[in-house]
Structure formats: C-alpha cells, structure tokens
Chains A and B, each alone.
Chain A
Amino acid sequence: MTTLRNALRLALLAALFAGPAEAARIYITNEKSNDITVIDSDSLAVLQTVKAGRRPRGVRVSPDGKLLYVCASDEDGIQVFDTATMKLLRTLDSGPDPEQFAMNAAGDLLYIANEDNAQVTVLDVVKNQIVANVPVGVEPEGMALSPDGAVLVNTSETTNMAHFIDAKTFKRIDNVLVDKRPRYALFTPDGGKLWVSSEVGGTVSVIDARTRQLVKKLRFDVPGLTAEEVQPVGLRATRDGKTVFVALGPANRVAAVDAETFEIRKYILVGQRVWHMALTPDEKYLFTANGNSNDVTVIDVASLKAIKSLPVGQAPLGVASSPN
C-alpha cells in the first residue's frame, strides 16, 4: 500500500511539474545550408532540421505559436511552416530579397524590408495580399513596429537613417540620423525608446520614440579588440525592459546592457560572428546564432554565462522562440 501511495504521489508531482515546465521551441535559420534547426529550450537539444527555401534569414513565430514565418531571401518569398508538424504550408509573396520583417500584435500583417528596391512591403498574411508598398531609403534593412502598432521604423543602410513611418497612412513622420550601416531596430517593450544598431559605425543609438531625439549613443570597448572587430547587429530586450542584449558580430561577444543606466554589465564570449538572438518565453536563456562557427550559444540570463554550444546548420543567422 505504501509503495502504491508513493507511486501515486510521484505521478501527481510529475503531472504538476510537467505543466509549467513545457518547453519552448527555438528556431534557427541557416543561411548556407538552407534549413531550419528546431531546438528544445528545456533539454537544450536539437529536435529536428527542416529544409527551407534558398538563403533563409529573418524568422518569426505567430503570436499564437502555430505558424513560423521564414524569409527565403533568394526566392523572394516568405515561407509559412506549421510549427506542430514543421510542414511547409505555403509561400507568401514578399517582394524582392526579403531579409527582415516586423509583425503586428494580431499576427496578420508583416512589414518586410526589400533591400533591392528601396521599399517596405506590407503583407496581409491571411489573404496573402500586398496591402501597401512603402518607398523608403536606399537598401532598407532593419524593421520594427512600435508595441502599440502605430509607428513603423525602417533603417536604411545607405542613408544611415532610421525612418519613422505612420503605420496607418504609411506617411513618413521623421528621419533620425544614426551611425554607418544601421542593421537592426528594436522598440523597448514599453514603446518609449528605439534602439538601432550600426554595424560599421560600431555603435547603438538609443532614440526617444516620442521626440525622436537621440538619448544615448552606446560604444563597446571590448578590451583587446580593435574597433573594426566590434560590429553591433542583433538586439533583444527582456520583457521588463531592464536589459538589452547586443550581438557584436566578429567580436564574438554579446553585450548585456543595463537599459536604464546604459552601463554594460558584461561581454559574454559566444560563437564566431554572432548575428541574431532570442530569449526563451521564461527568459531563462538567450540563444545566439553564430554565423562562422555554425553553432548556437545558450546563455544563462541570470548569471550571464555561456553554458552550452549546439552545432546547427551552415551559417546560422536568425533566431526566434515560440511564445510559450
């Protein structure tokens, strides 16, 4: 009887713990092997590798976690995968050479930067219909939508500007000059600030989203590295808005920045040529895609330590996490 009771107790405990500990899925786009690596955020193991279109780059998961959107840059389309089966459902018309895109909170509109023809394509994913083509600066790269959905930001590589665009009328509101080759734009979770990374300039510009004035220009003096080795690219913020992670490209480091004091808390050595990153929904881990060492580094967010390297496909670039 005692054994049975113990067994029941164990089973009950197991059931209790299974609920909240449900693992998230992390999706990595591998630019050169043309596939997607799926990682389990609990066991930190690679679950499967799925074939994608040519040169997969930007990647996002729908708000309900059911769909995975992947830019197939050399096929001029956005592929939609069913996250439950990882089967390709359809390919959406994205305009030429899509690299990065933003998504609205409802998950029905994508805002895609088309590097080759200086425009942003606004795509209704339900109807698979282009809603608008917005002309922007030459070689658009970074895309961000404010949390309230009102303002769209696009960065232009050639004019070195962050363009603020009204997300309803698609009229230009303002342009803010940043350093050379702006690569990625990120709104803080409260929508108050916009962070823009400049790959060649080696800086991150923090802009007040309301006044569009520069609040702070961050530089990254990693001891022992030359300035040209520091190339900020990917950005991610914790939900409380207190920490922003900056991927520093060939510096092989991720900077953890205090978003209130702008103090750099730590430079974490990751893999080679770190591009983009994603946090797990519980914000326990940060995953980084390392383009030259063909792996993903798992960073423990609490201790800011790299705890694991997972080999993935060739030239990993984009990272997205399922919402839960």
Chain B
Amino acid sequence: MPRLSALLLLALVSPALAGGPPADEDWPCPQRRTGAISRAAIWAGPEAQGRWEDDDAAAALARKLASRRTPIDEAGGLIAAFANQAGADKDKRLTLVFEGTLDLINSERAKVMASIARYARGQKALAARVRDDADKAADAQDSQGQGDITTPEALEKAHPELKWDKRIFDDRAQALTYVCESPVLLEKRAFALARALQEKL
C-alpha cells in the first residue's frame, strides 16, 4: 500500500526535519551546523602563553564562567575580582581564563551537537518504524478485505499502537526547536564572556 505510507509519512515529517540542510541528513536544525567556536571569532586579545589548567585560580574562574549555572550578569563582577588580584601578569592570566572558558564551552557545545545528531537519527528510525507498521497494517487489512483506508486518522483508529509512536515523534519534533537553539546559546555565552574579559585587559 504505497499510498498509505505516503500519507502517514506526510503527517510525520516535521517542518524542522524537512527544512534541514539536505547535505547533512543527521542534522535536523534550521541553523547551520558549524564546527567549534574559533578563538579568533570572539577574541582580539593576546595569544595565550602556557596551559590554562596550570593556573589554578584562572582555571577555577574559567570553570565558573563556562558553567551555565552562573548567570551571565555575574560574570563581570567575577572577572573584575580576579583582575584586581591577578598582579603584574593580569593580561596573561585573563588570557588563560579566556582559553579555559572557550575550551570548556566548546567541549560542551560539541556534546550538545552530537546529541542533536543522535536525536535526529532516532527520529529517522522512529519514522521508518511507523512507516513499516503502517505498511504491515495496511497489508493485513487488504488480505482481510476490510477495504481501503485513505486517511491517517482512519488508520490510527484501526491501529492505536501507530498513534503512540506518532505522538512520540511529534513531541520530539516540537522539542527540537528548543534543542536546536542550544549551540547558539553557547556561542552567545562564549562571546559575552570573551568581551567581558577583554574589557579588563
């Protein structure tokens, strides 16, 4: 029953999935999939000297700033306090804080993006399952001579288990709008922190 699966598929394909870049099937977001945030995109300060992990106070501040639990409004105060106590190496150490913050945010962002891709693969698998189930249901109906089911609603009524999978699919598709925003939110955070650090150089 190709017609039935086509109908169901139409009902299943969410706009977010349909609107994704065609070149990247695992990427369901309307936003472009981009690599890690480049240092140069947000930083006009000096090059880092040394590893940020080796400066305990700088590393602690970087962890605090990178954490989404720290409200962005508090960043300025935390950075000012650090700068006041940083001594003669202030610029060098603020640069280390920046390096640490960017590393941490980039690794969180990479995790978020990997889970978005995983999520998209899960959705595709779910869509395929619903399609298969629909085909099977339709075949069964054909063999039982129950006539033609031409609307998704009629099909769902005859096979309630299909409805459940479709509901999960729709819920996830809806959540995608929010999920797709998270890499962008992290980019905004990295930029705002870089700017606040540069102001103290």
Contact = CB atoms under 8 A, between A and B. Distances in A.
B40 A272 contact: no
A228 B184 CA distance: 16
A272 B192 CA distance: 9
Interface in A254-280: 269, 271-272
Given A228-B34, A229-B34, A292-B184, A223 B191 contact: no
Nearest to A250: B41
Interface string A207-229: 00000000000000011111011
B39 interface: yes
A223 B41 CA distance: 9
Tell me what chain A mostly uses at the interface: helix, strand, loop, or mixed.
loop
A251 interface: yes
Interface in B143-176: none
Given A224-B41, A229-B34, A252-B41, 8 more contacts: A223-B40, A224-B39, A224-B40, A251-B41, A272-B42, A272-B191, A292-B188, A293-B195
Interface in A42-85: none
Contacts of B192: 293
B23 to A, nearest CB: 12
B34 A292 contact: no
Contact of B187 (A222, A226, A228, A292): A292
B49 interface: no
A222 B40 CA distance: 8
B84 interface: no
Contacts of A228: 32, 34-35
Contacts of B10: none
Looking at chain B, what size class is its interface with the partner chain?
10 to 19
B44 interface: yes
B38 interface: yes
B41 A229 contact: yes
A292 B38 CA distance: 16
A226 B38 CA distance: 8
B44 A269 contact: yes
A164 B85 CA distance: 61
Contact of A224 (B35, B38, B187, B191): B38
B187 A225 contact: no
B188 A226 contact: no
Per DSSP, chain B at the interface is: helix
A266 B44 CA distance: 12
Nearest to A200: B32
Interface residues of A, number: 16
Contacts of A223: 40
Contacts of A292: 184, 187-188, 191
A220 to B, nearest CB: 12
Interface in B95-111: none
Nearest to B192: A293
25 contacts: A223-B40, A224-B38, A224-B40, A224-B41, A225-B40, A225-B41, A226-B34, A226-B35, A228-B32, A228-B34, A228-B35, A229-B34, A229-B38, A229-B41, A250-B34, A251-B41, A252-B42, A252-B191, A271-B191, A272-B187, A272-B188, A292-B187, A293-B192, A293-B195, A309-B195
Nearest to A269: B44
A111 B188 CA distance: 35
A168 B87 CA distance: 68
B42 to A, nearest CB: 6
Contacts of B35: 226, 228
A296 B15 CA distance: 33
Nearest to A251: B41
A293 B195 CA distance: 10
A228 B41 CA distance: 12
A228 B42 CA distance: 15
A293 B188 CA distance: 7
Interface string B121-146: 00000000000000000000000000
Given A228-B34, A229-B34, A293 B41 contact: no
Contacts of B32: 228
